[in-house]
Structure 1
């Protein structure tokens, strides 16, 4: 198989490239040159935000079995690439987002749920949901429904993360001491390890799949408790998880998802949208999700290998909770929610009722 990766040097793109190389694929990467491409690829340089950003691709005589694109800004960049490549590539895989669904999608929503209105393939940058939907429309326009794969990803975790969610939790656990752990601890979570996402994308290309797919783990693949215990254990076990009721956290003005990454309160529209998607279509076509302990351990290993500071995308908001705010909430909450050390009973691998 011959892959053209648009991007390919960070997080999702890099995981796709490494997975393709691992399968013996021929890989070409078009990127801006800000980061080194993985060894073993053929490199083309170009900035898709520039007027001549696709010049290297226009001049290259190559043809590919599949194009993978993770673009999340102005949809017209996807439009221009897809139009250029429609006669030179067999299939176009666009890594979109579950954010394209009209707010708020109900728990258990499938790929048939309504999508946001007002998106356009010709648009400049607007907002994340419409930009991603505009990218989908651009791909569909150039490649048609039968040669397009729309990967509607949810929460993505794993090595190379440049958003700041799992790296923040790992760094916080490594610091040790009492940690504000947002309850309930058995709250089910959905996410996908970036390597499992990459493996599914390549499998979709090999199978000749088309259409939209919700791409996250099955509901309840892990829980808040299992995730945070894994983080506490892998970083040395010095953290004490202080489980705190959602009402206390929200009453303190702490923002779910951003200040306490990954977590959103149960029963909210946000939880249904982020952690309650129906992913049976992806599972039926080969999605396999590794245990949360493996994702956490491999991310911690990568984080240590690069010196402990994860790269951050400039177009994403800061993640994490200020230590002073955390301390105040813990002091006011006391120990009503329970204290749990990393090595206590019910650790990683326990069964949640």
Structure 2
């Protein structure tokens, strides 16, 4: 298969290109080249997707399939216009953020979507969902529903996850001692390994599996996610003990949810967002998506985190000083927090 990957130098794109090369395909990564290099065995085509004719060098060749991960509607519209006559099948990697509601558990691909962004450029992450809706529409209008796959990914984790969302908990438990955790044992978490997603994207392109799919992991309660993280951390020098803190108290201490500075990774207090981590993946599984066990993903992510440097800054979690301060405050209020 002659496969064109629009990108292929950053995390998911690079993993996808590597999976395609390993499967014996002829892979070309088309990008500016500022985010890194394509994997060994893949060709590189320098392009500028923001230029009106930026894909001209790709449009004069034939491609069995294209895989696109862009979030900018203008880039996708230009790609569809330029490649419509050059490619047989188009795989677009979208997101679960396209759905109008993130509250309901178990929603499938037929759930209502947000209104599409009308601009060519997504100016901020607040427009991420609408921008991806616009991208999806452009692909469907250009290639038709029978020659395209829309893959709505959930939270991606695994080795190389610089966001810190999948690495924070196993790394923290590996350090040992008292581990501050949000007291939300039943809150859903849903993580797909980047390697599983990449492998399946290649399979979808190979088999020309048309449709719309939620490419998400299995839903796991927060308590089970923490148990898995603790299990893969192994026996630390000082035993790790989870110390639950009420969500209300954490908010009062300016601890952030989900990711970013001074956060507890994957914590989402607002039930209006819990459905984001509890979507149905039945359709994707029926189409061949295979998921490795969560423990394997977390163990491999821990190994990658440790190799990358334990002391380096991360995109999610508490610093050691922040956690120590919070644990001391939690000890001070003690039993008075019960039930809050």
> The TM-score by the shorter chain falls in which range?
0.7 to 0.9
Determine whether 1:326 maps to 2:328: no
> For 2:268, which of 264, 271, 280 is the aligned residue?
264
Give the distance between the partners of 1:216 and 1:311, measured in 2 at CA: 27
* Post-superposition offset of 1:288: 1.4
Give the distance between the partners of 1:133 and 1:151, measured in 2 at CA: 12
RMSD of equivalent CA atoms? 2.7
Unaligned runs of 5+ in 2: 336-340
SS in 1 for 2:219: coil
* Post-superposition offset of 1:319: 2.7
Alpha-carbon deviations, 1:282-316, whole Å to 9, x = none? 1111121111121122223333444558898xxxx
Alpha-carbon deviations, 1:140-172, whole Å to 9, x = none? 121111111111111100122233322444554
Q: Which residue of 2 aligns with 1:87?
A: 85
Q: Which residue of 2 aligns with 1:183?
A: 183
Q: Which residue of 2 aligns with 1:65?
A: 64
SS in 2 for 1:199: helix
Cα distance change on mapping 1:251 and 1:79 into 2, 3 Å: same
TM-score calculated relative to the size of structure 2: 0.85
Q: Map 1:159-178 to 2 at 5 A.
A: 159-178=159-178
Segment of structure 1 superposing worse, 109-118 or 291-300: 291-300
Cα distance change on mapping 1:16 and 1:221 into 2, 3 Å: farther
SS in 2 for 1:13: helix
Q: Which residue of 1 aligns with 2:203?
A: 203
Cα distance change on mapping 1:32 and 1:131 into 2, 3 Å: same
TM-score calculated relative to the size of structure 1: 0.82
Q: Which residue of 2 aligns with 1:33?
A: 33
- Residues 70 and 94, structure 1, Cα contact 8 Å, conserved in 2: yes
- Residues 10 and 162, structure 1, Cα contact 8 Å, conserved in 2: no
Give the distance between the partners of 1:53 and 1:81, measured in 2 at CA: 9
Give the distance between the partners of 2:236 and 2:205, measured in 1 at CA: 37
Cα distance change on mapping 1:142 and 1:309 into 2, 3 Å: farther
